[in-house]
Structure 1
Amino acid sequence: MSSRGSPYSQTTTLVNTPDIKETLGSKTSDPVLPPAEIVEYYASKASSAVFLYDVARDAGFGRTTKELAKKGTDSGYAAAFEVQSRAGAGLSLLGRISEGTSSQGSQSSVALTAFTTPDGLAQMVPTLGLFSKPIASNRLVLQVPNITHSGVDMVVSPTLSQLAPFFTSAPEHFTVLLSATPQEIADFAILSYSISAHVVHIFDHWSGAREISKKQLTFAPLVAPVLDTHTAVQKAGYEFFEYVGDKTANDVLVMLNGPLALCVKKVASILPSFGVVLVKVLRPWDEVALRRIIPASAQRVHVIDDSLTSSSFTPLYHDILGTLAYSSSKAPRIISQKLDIPTLNQLLTSAQSLVGYLSSIIPINWFAAPKIPSSGGKRIVFYSNPSSILSEVPATATQLFATKPTLDARFGQIYDLFAKPGGAVKSTLLLGQVNSVDPSPIPFEAGQEPETDSLLVLDPGLLKTHDLFSDLKDGAPVLIVTPWAVEEVISNLSAANLDNLKSSRRPLIAIDAEAVAADLHDAELASSVSIAAFLRLYLGHVASLDVVTGLLKTLYGKEIRGTTVESISKASWDALRLLELPAEIAIPEGVAPSKVFSFNALSLPNTSSTPPGHGTRLTSWIEAGKNIIFREAYSMATPTTAASGQQVPSLRPDTVERTFLVTCKVNRRLTPLEYNRNVFHLEFDTTGTGLKYEIGEALGVHGWNDAEEVLEFCQWYGVDPNDLISIPLPGDPGKRHLRTVFQALQQQIDLFGKPPKSFYEALCPHASKREDRMALRFIGAAEGVSTFKMLSEKETVTFVDVLRKFSSARPSLEVLCEMIGDIKPRHYSIASAQSAVGDRVDLLVVTVDWLTPSGSPRFGQCTRYLAGLKLGQKVTVSIKPSVMKLPPDNLQPIIMAGLGTGAAPFRAFMQHRAHLASHGIPVGPMLYYFGSRHRREEYLYGEEIEAYLQNGIITHAGLAFSRDGKGKVYIQHKMLEDGQLLAKLIGGEVVDQRGVFYLCGPTWPVPDVFEALVGALGQHRGMKRDVAEAYIEELKEAERYVLEVY
């Protein structure tokens, strides 16, 4: 399930939750898990493979399965495959199950599992008849979450109307199970793998599978005998049919097990004169069991079928008709009741509507409208914004109650995508003594009177648009998390909410959680502050500061993000304020009617705690669709540039500089393979890109992180590389660009860069372990400078290294991206002249790698990326101006001194002058000094240099290979030998004596080179030392003494 689709997963950043396997196997505690995750777990454990259809993934399934699949089949978990739903979708399953494997054949019970929805199952109907009779080692289990979007308003519905063809034609070797309560869903998930037939398990995902509640039984072992359906169901403690209601009823309803059946079951358990049969096993159809369970007094059997239209076929009705119509001379009358989707959706939320519907189809005179008692216990409702940091509050608070052995706690959420931009969430928490809370669906409000005992409004904006107060009991308190004063609150209430307040005079309590968190110097504490306020509200008159603090400690421990629970509890306690309502509340005229909260989404696209429009945030593929459909609104601005060729606006929108997409045509190593330094030559094709560059400029390469290392990090950090992340554009905060998490971490975020001191300080509040917080705080402080230096300069740790070292520090991915920042382009001197090579740009690069004192390998991020380029691979580049410019006069002498890859810009100089000479243009002399370790291994572009020497482009060369002779010889030694020539070429005023000296390479030879020039001017021009030094400074000002060193 998606990170925001499951309430349980929302709490993982605050509450330390155990591994799902350990949770389910616990003997001492009840797991607080939605049944949907339990279904996925057992499917992964009991299957040879799990197929995840796209419709099921859209319903929130697949995250747990894929996480377990990463642990590998050796760990006992099935491989996961993502597949598409389409006509004939079952053929891929048929092919897989027909293959079989020798390894499967040796196992006592192996199944192939697929997750799909009723719509997906309907597409499989034509192929299910092709499946052969199952054997123990080769069976199909279809797990079908019952969820469908219906109508133009996309209301989520549990209708099974689309499955009428399947129910009618299901092959005889298929078992069809239907489960509704959270307990049933978990039990039937296990039961699915104990049956010898192919199994279709349809379970309620409208409410039951998404609900968080405690387990009620010891889970069955995964290695179970393969049994016939009757035996397996009975061993699990269930029957094919369940009857509830009057044992002498004249009217009996029969319906498939599901959320509506649970609602009718509640009514039938209270009201006399009728009963209801819940069908839990539809296939194989057990006529004997059905006849046995129907009361002998039954005169009418009303069969409720979900139906698309009034003329739709009703498979359950025909099953009942065939079983009961001629069973005896006193057979009851069989009546078909077709339930369309809008009616079904209405009946699921209101007992009053349901009783009215039953009264219309059952000829029973109840004399007065029957009263249905409430669900029992307390009902607490939260309204929140999924983009707010407070979105975690409802699920986190649930963790506290769900682990209490004396309480029953049930928690569910519904999502309204259209409530406001970004959507809104309604969370409901039902609390009561053990076994006191009935199992009807959470959204079903059983009583005909208001049922909500407490209301928490975490998004005050909903007060103006939605009716939030109508279901509140008299005197029920309302907590609003807002900085507003009472006048602002009243001015932001809808007409319905104002009218309710006017009549009920209920207490309104407010807290500015963000301000309290700011006073505590950690904005992330706003949710904890809100929970503390909620606990005080919930406890009522028995609340005390000590009690609230104790409950917070139960939930969080002694500290939250480095702040003591005592200080958070005290700050929250002191910040609560009662909003004193005026004696008269005027209701303005012409106010738009309040909207009712609608259930139309299983998750919401905006999942960040960052306000929309600011900062990095995780988002959904819906945002990607918007970018495609509404291109004009989302398109990136094209930079204005004088260069020809069209800028690709989406190439690197995160950078303000002009970028180009070039193609790698040559990647050739220049040094021998056995040599310990990899110096290589690159050529990029720039045809059609508009890339233009001048002699001596540098090419900025926007390198990528290593793909395997990024995926390894995603798995370790627990993020899905296929999720989308939305990143604001620099210089244009109104624009954003979308990438997958993998793309962002590979291409933009500097994961494997060197963290500055400030990163340790910023990471500190995110650490949950005290020792990690103290260590991070120390390194980030002035006292930790030596430790920081050791980590940064000796161990050369990366951002990922720091995160692994202090593993309890887990900021959300959005926050982490902003803490780390972007990969900076690495600039390399261009080793070609465009005048000579045309649509091409060349680079000379040496791979940077080393071992740390602890033995860990390290790599230069960009040189590693460049070294691994394949021919034809696209590379994003930009141009950076440089000080390495040719002299204005082609006759001026050029003296070039390069060490190693510092030869790159001088190759461009040589190419350009050779090009001029080939066109008959006179050029001045060129002196070339080059230094490296060995001539054989590192005489870079040696063949070209020798050719230029022969044709006179280079008039003199001083080559220094420091390791080839007895004594070490460097370029400054060669310059000393040529002192007279150097003094002549740079020491005069005429053109052939106004030479320009260039040095490119590492910084270490700069002082010796300077001394060589000073000595040459002193010896051969008669300058005193101070005069020679001043003269070289003048050359520097005149751009005739140019250094590009690093």
Structure 2
Amino acid sequence: MFATTALVASAIASKLNGYRPDAQVTAKDIPHQVVEKVTTELNKAISHQQDNSDDNVSTTSSQTIYDESSDATYLKSALVDSFLEEALFSNSSKLENASAIHLLSGKNAIEYIAFALSDLSFVYSAFSTDYLGKSAEQWAQSGIQNVSRYPGKVIRMDTRAGALTAVQGAINYLDNVQGQAHKPQLSILTSSESLLAMIPNMHALALQRAPVVFHVSAHGLSSELERIPSLDTVLAARNTGFVYLASNSVQEAHDMALVAYLVSQELQLPVLHYIDGVKTANESESINIADYTAIKHQLRGSADVTVPLAQTGDAIEAILERTSKAFGRRYQMFEYSGHKEPDTVIVTLGAGSQSVQQALRQLNPYADRVGVLNARVFRPWSEERFLEALPHTTKRIIVLEQSELESDVVSNGPLYMDVACAVRFGQWVNGAKKPDLVAAKGSDLARITVSALKSLVFVSQTALRVDLESEEFAAAVADNEVVQPTAKVHSATFWDVNGDETARHIAHLLAGISSGAEHLVNINVIEDSYRPGGPVTHATIRLSTETSQQPATVTSEYIAVQHHGLVKEYDILGSAATKAIVLLNGPWSTGDEIESKLPADFKLVSTQKDIQLYTIDAAKIARECSLDEVRGAKLVFELAYLNLVNSKPLKRVTDFTSRIAGLYDDVVGSAAKEVGQYVKDINSKVEQELKKIDLLPPWTILESEFKNLPKIPVSRAAKNEDKTQAQVGDVAQINKYHQAAFNLMFKEAYNSSLELRPDQREQNFLVTVTENKRLTPTSYDRNVFHLEFDTTNTGLKYDIGEALGVHGHNDEQEVAKFLSWYGLKGSDVVQVPVNGESSIYETRTILQLFTQTLDVFGRPTKKFYEELAEFATDEKEKGRLLFLVSDEGKAEYKKRVDDTVTYNDVLHEFTSAKPPVERLVRMISHIKPRHYSIASSQRMHPNSVHLLVVAVDWKRQDGEVRYGQCTRYLANLKVGDKVTVSIKPSVMKLPPRDTQPIIMAGLGTGMAPFRAFLQERAVAKASGVEVGPIVLYFGSRHRSMEYLYGEELEAYHEEGLLSHLGLAFSRDQKEKIYIQMKMQEDGKMLHDYLMNQEGYFYLCGPTWPVPDVKAAIMEGLREYGGIENAAASELIEEWKEKERYILEVY
């Protein structure tokens, strides 16, 4: 289903009502240009959907449409930000008086206010992505209006010498056009790195008292491309005549952005508003947004009389007081917090005070009489107001400044110089003793944690200068004390290699399904775009029931890792709270299965912190629920989070599946097809697949590896915010050989790895064929053969009863024939996304891909027919393809399945439909590994694994003989060939005690695991271990043709290891004999072994003899144990639960 403008208008209106409960908005209130934009973007997202499921279509007549429940999933993932945009900027009069809490980043909060109050905005950025002003550019392109009801204008500029010349020209032009009575409002959104080139023209703007507002994201780059806060370049322009205004949080970024315009307009002065470009700019919080009505209410316009520069401090203080009353949040030029009568006061400059204040709240229990004085307005500097804000009991002032230059540590910074002048020359009350001054500098004030703050206060008692980059403070930072989450705060961390969408979606879901202002959401995202192996994202969500700032070092109650390999690169559990829930993405269900995937430190710490470890195979669930594996996996992780968390702030969010379904219903409208039930079905699958992993006892005694892994990634620049490629389906790419060569030559640059099968989640091994022997005569119509593989130096280990997964290849001659017909060159190199992940590509030749990966000779899905119809140029063929997946075409589709029609057959049948290979490789399913019971014991054959296989073939209705893909591959293997294999666990395990009897019943190749059982018991007996009775019932057609491993069985029987051998060759005599008949003859023995000696029974082979075999055992129990049929049947079911009666049938 493709979205209509009416549907989208209804969806937006519903969503806006959810954001702003006091407003009642209808579809008619939504601007038509907004609806058209969202509709276009939505249809783009839906049209690129890459779903490989058979069942993701619903049909009426011969027309096929997408299932709207799948569209709902796409809509949520694609338009979260679009809904936010419309909620902020709708021009409906019904929204003007509404107020709401929104989840915004610091950048977005500034962009919103700047866009609302600017006639024209200029964006100067040192980066092509992730810059201040990017969202404003998009809003301008969408035609969204500002507070004056004119479309906002935003111009992107390059940073070069003489920057701001265009700004001066714009001011002069607008002055001439609009007259001197109106001073146009201009904004500049930039980074601190661009500011240096602007300083000469900033002087000119200040001289002409231009009411221009600069919003500056203060950050720089280290030599390793790490983002670091950078105030040096911001303060370099402090003497230009601009008012300097600082923000310390996302809420303050919104509020101070508005104050900046009020100061600029009322005082006719240029204002520079700056924020921490690393933390505050990128952190998202639930904040109060002033709508256009509230903003206009604050505007006063320019004063009739120009305010003298000497009185600007008083005027700014008055504006701050006025906005404080309006917002309900206190703002002053200098803001003090901490002990009422402190001995030590730490003076900070705006953007660095938040971390210091957070640390101070944790410090108070340890040391009293410490406070923080935040200089919110640095220019103009008000000596009088500084001294008024400084508590009279102060004995020591620590001036805390940020500087990225090591050489600058020994010099006094601008804040220190102003504070020193105020202390030395200021007016002190009653001749009070002037406090001592201590200068403290560091490159990143966010490092001022509670431990570092305690050290700073202690050292400042004897030192006049403190270097926060010294080893002493580095150790204090490393030894930082973390705080366990309180009842009012919930913290969750998400690790991902595919961006931060999961955390952001969960945050938006929490904001949507929780009750508005009662739950405040905070997101902090750190991304390392230059990590070897691809970008990694660390996102932390906090959900709080109180508005007060929480300590930055709160541990996480919940940690989700979407790529398990990250546990070996980062100290994932370093930030985990005691008894935290940790969710790993993968197919494991027990501690034994996952143990080899976890480093020793992870296992040790998990026991020390009593971690609640869970796993979930998100990609598997996404496939089974007809979702895209990458985007669908994110929805799975959202639901897993909501299922597992049990924190107090979330307890009121009851029946979250209904609440989530309600959000989806709001999005897709009344035309949705059981969206709520669809979400609940996915959630039910998530509940079933969540596996609780018991921590193994040996993990408690492991020794630490002392690797000192980082707890979080390094925040590096050039964050990739362009999600276009990921959203359109991550298509394959055709390259030449040199690209593959580059990948191998420059592994670090291309993040190349030489994994055997990166598209497979289980561990794979490359083994070598040492024997391929046919066990049945060549004249016999069934080819049963024995295979042996050398496992030396491969690391392959297997247990008794496990199966070997073989990754079979297509026949090379048939593949070559197909490629020639399709017009493909086998030597061309293609890069295919691994499991849909846009950051990981597998490089193969076309020949390799169609031989080893794509199941081109397998059964096509309904989805393939539907996608193929898009490429059909012949209308009849297109109609035919769509008919086959419609309700009317069900019978014919089933007939095709029964006749084993393949992808190859369909492509040859519908010749006008010829997708490009980049799309074709995404349309054809991958070859799945076939699993065969292992026919050997690794104790007897430590460097070998054996299989027993029967070649599968059949005849189609047209008389053509076809062959099983994998058995044909195995039958044609030669000694020395390499084969890719994996291990699959099984329930076919030997009894815990060697003396317990084992009773085995195998038909044909069902003999394979029992050969392994015999070998295992033979090794045990040869080593002097007493072994119990072994009974084997084996059945096949002819003794002379299919007595598989007959010589081995006779030898084991002769020596006494095989205590009883019951053979049933059904066609060697006139009356057919089956294994259940042999078992009936041995009823007394079976009763004794099963009832008196706690024996185990196993059946392996086809399903048809299962009821007869059960009846034979029940007969023995009744005749020799007096157990009636009903009780005997219940007893067998009990044995099944205890894994004493095991069936492996097919």
2:301 to 225, 230, 254: 225
Shift of 1:379: 1.3
Instruction: Spell out, residue by residue over 1:620-640, the C-alpha distance to the aligned partner (whole angstroms, 9 max, x if none).
Output: xxxx9x999x999999xxxxx
Matched, 1:535 2:642: yes
Distance 1:114 1:499 in 2: 52
Matched, 1:291 2:404: no
The residue aligned with 1:333 is 435
**Is the CA contact (8 Å cut-off) linking 1:254 and 1:304 kept in structure 2?**
yes
Instruction: Spell out, residue by residue over 1:353-409, the C-alpha distance to the aligned partner (whole angstroms, 9 max, x if none).
Output: 333233322569xxx999886675111111111269857654454444676332122
**Is the CA contact (8 Å cut-off) linking 2:346 and 2:372 kept in structure 1?**
yes
Shift of 1:511: 1.1
Shift of 1:462: 0.5
1:170 to 219, 224, 240: 240
The residue aligned with 2:171 is 97
Instruction: Spell out, residue by residue over 1:469-506, the C-alpha distance to the aligned partner (whole angstroms, 9 max, x if none).
Output: 12212211111222234334322223431220232332
Distance 1:80 1:757 in 2: 46
* Equivalenced residues, count: 642
Instruction: Spell out, residue by residue over 1:587-632, the C-alpha distance to the aligned partner (whole angstroms, 9 max, x if none).
Output: 48878553332332366338669899994399xxxxx9x999x999
Q: What amino acid does structure 1 have at the position aligned with 2:234?
A: L
Q: Which secondary structure does the structure 2 equivalent of 1:600 belong to?
A: coil
1:479 to 567, 583, 599: 583
The residue aligned with 1:209 is 281
Instruction: Spell out, residue by residue over 1:900-935, the C-alpha distance to the aligned partner (whole angstroms, 9 max, x if none).
Output: xxxxxxxxxxxxxxxxxxxxxxxxxxxxxxxxxxxx
Shift of 1:209: 3.0
2:572 to 441, 445, 468: 468
Shift of 1:33: 2.2
Q: Give the alignment of 1:558-637 within 5 angstroms.
A: 564-585=678-699, 587=702, 593-601=708-716, 604-605=719-720, 615-616=730-731
Structure having greater relative contact order (Cα 8 Å, sep ≥ 6):
2
- Unmatched 5+ stretches in structure 1: 619-623, 636-723, 736-754, 764-776, 786-814, 823-1046
Matched, 1:255 2:352: no
Instruction: Spell out, residue by residue over 1:950-978, the C-alpha distance to the aligned partner (whole angstroms, 9 max, x if none).
Output: xxxxxxxxxxxxxxxxxxxxxxxxxxxxx
**Is the CA contact (8 Å cut-off) linking 2:175 and 2:184 kept in structure 1?**
no
Instruction: Spell out, residue by residue over 1:205-250, the C-alpha distance to the aligned partner (whole angstroms, 9 max, x if none).
Output: 3222323222236454245424653332222112101011222222
The residue aligned with 1:422 is 534
**Is the CA contact (8 Å cut-off) linking 1:761 and 1:779 kept in structure 2?**
no
Instruction: Spell out, residue by residue over 1:629-684, the C-alpha distance to the aligned partner (whole angstroms, 9 max, x if none).
Output: x999999xxxxxxxxxxxxxxxxxxxxxxxxxxxxxxxxxxxxxxxxxxxxxxxxx
Instruction: Spell out, residue by residue over 1:546-591, the C-alpha distance to the aligned partner (whole angstroms, 9 max, x if none).
Output: 8242243244338999661121111111111111222112748878
After superposition, the Cα gap between the structure-2 partners of 1:574 and 1:757, relative to the gap in structure 1 and judged at 3 Å, is closer
**Is the CA contact (8 Å cut-off) linking 1:402 and 1:410 kept in structure 2?**
no
After superposition, the Cα gap between the structure-2 partners of 1:61 and 1:326, relative to the gap in structure 1 and judged at 3 Å, is closer
Q: What amino acid does structure 2 have at the position aligned with 1:170?
A: T
Distance 2:501 2:869 in 1: 21
The residue aligned with 2:896 is none
1:321 to 420, 423, 426: 420
After superposition, the Cα gap between the structure-2 partners of 1:480 and 1:558, relative to the gap in structure 1 and judged at 3 Å, is farther
Q: Give the alignment of 1:915-934 within 5 angstroms.
A: none
After superposition, the Cα gap between the structure-2 partners of 1:205 and 1:459, relative to the gap in structure 1 and judged at 3 Å, is same
**Is the CA contact (8 Å cut-off) linking 2:343 and 2:370 kept in structure 1?**
yes
The residue aligned with 1:694 is none
Q: Which secondary structure does the structure 2 equivalent of 1:170 belong to?
A: coil
Distance 2:399 2:432 in 1: 18
Distance 1:543 1:73 in 2: 39
Shift of 1:282: 0.9
Matched, 1:550 2:658: yes
**Is the CA contact (8 Å cut-off) linking 1:549 and 1:565 kept in structure 2?**
yes
Distance 1:517 1:554 in 2: 21
Q: Which secondary structure does the structure 2 equivalent of 1:97 belong to?
A: helix
**Is the CA contact (8 Å cut-off) linking 1:113 and 1:140 kept in structure 2?**
yes
Q: Give the alignment of 1:527-926 within 5 angstroms.
A: 527-539=634-646, 547-557=655-665, 564-585=678-699, 587=702, 593-601=708-716, 604-605=719-720, 615-616=730-731, 758=866, 781-782=885-886
Matched, 1:408 2:520: yes
Instruction: Spell out, residue by residue over 1:320-362, the C-alpha distance to the aligned partner (whole angstroms, 9 max, x if none).
Output: 12222122343523524241316x3532xx4223332333225
The residue aligned with 2:259 is 191
- Unmatched 5+ stretches in structure 2: 1-40, 42-73, 304-314, 325-330, 464-475, 734-738, 751-837, 850-862, 872-880, 890-915, 924-1146
The residue aligned with 2:333 is 240
The residue aligned with 2:357 is 264
Matched, 1:200 2:272: yes
Q: What amino acid does structure 2 have at the position aligned with 1:556?
A: Y
After superposition, the Cα gap between the structure-2 partners of 1:733 and 1:418, relative to the gap in structure 1 and judged at 3 Å, is farther
Instruction: Spell out, residue by residue over 1:93-150, the C-alpha distance to the aligned partner (whole angstroms, 9 max, x if none).
Output: 3343344344444775632211111222233223322225456xx5221110122222
The residue aligned with 1:639 is none
Shift of 1:90: 3.4
Distance 2:133 2:262 in 1: 23
Normalising to structure 2: TM-score of the pair?
0.50
The residue aligned with 1:453 is 557
Normalising to structure 1: TM-score of the pair?
0.54
Distance 1:120 1:34 in 2: 21
Distance 2:137 2:724 in 1: 26
The residue aligned with 2:184 is 110
Q: Which secondary structure does the structure 2 equivalent of 1:81 belong to?
A: strand
Instruction: Spell out, residue by residue over 1:990-1017, the C-alpha distance to the aligned partner (whole angstroms, 9 max, x if none).
Output: xxxxxxxxxxxxxxxxxxxxxxxxxxxx
Shift of 1:264: 3.1
Between 389-398 and 499-508, report the one with greater CA deviation. Answer: 389-398
After superposition, the Cα gap between the structure-2 partners of 1:63 and 1:569, relative to the gap in structure 1 and judged at 3 Å, is same
Between 42-51 and 186-195, report the one with greater CA deviation. Answer: 42-51
Q: What amino acid does structure 2 have at the position aligned with 1:247?
A: K
The residue aligned with 1:17 is 83
**Is the CA contact (8 Å cut-off) linking 2:103 and 2:508 kept in structure 1?**
no
Matched, 1:346 2:417: no
Shift of 1:820: 14
The residue aligned with 2:875 is none
Distance 1:292 1:487 in 2: 66
**Is the CA contact (8 Å cut-off) linking 1:728 and 1:734 kept in structure 2?**
no
Shift of 1:185: 0.5
Q: Which secondary structure does the structure 2 equivalent of 1:247 belong to?
A: coil
Instruction: Spell out, residue by residue over 1:1011-1046, the C-alpha distance to the aligned partner (whole angstroms, 9 max, x if none).
Output: xxxxxxxxxxxxxxxxxxxxxxxxxxxxxxxxxxxx
Matched, 1:47 2:118: yes
Q: Which secondary structure does the structure 2 equivalent of 1:242 belong to?
A: strand
After superposition, the Cα gap between the structure-2 partners of 1:512 and 1:163, relative to the gap in structure 1 and judged at 3 Å, is same
**Is the CA contact (8 Å cut-off) linking 1:214 and 1:402 kept in structure 2?**
no
Distance 1:240 1:145 in 2: 20
Q: What amino acid does structure 2 have at the position aligned with 1:547?
A: D
Distance 1:204 1:117 in 2: 10
Distance 1:409 1:29 in 2: 14
After superposition, the Cα gap between the structure-2 partners of 1:816 and 1:96, relative to the gap in structure 1 and judged at 3 Å, is farther
Distance 2:717 2:399 in 1: 30
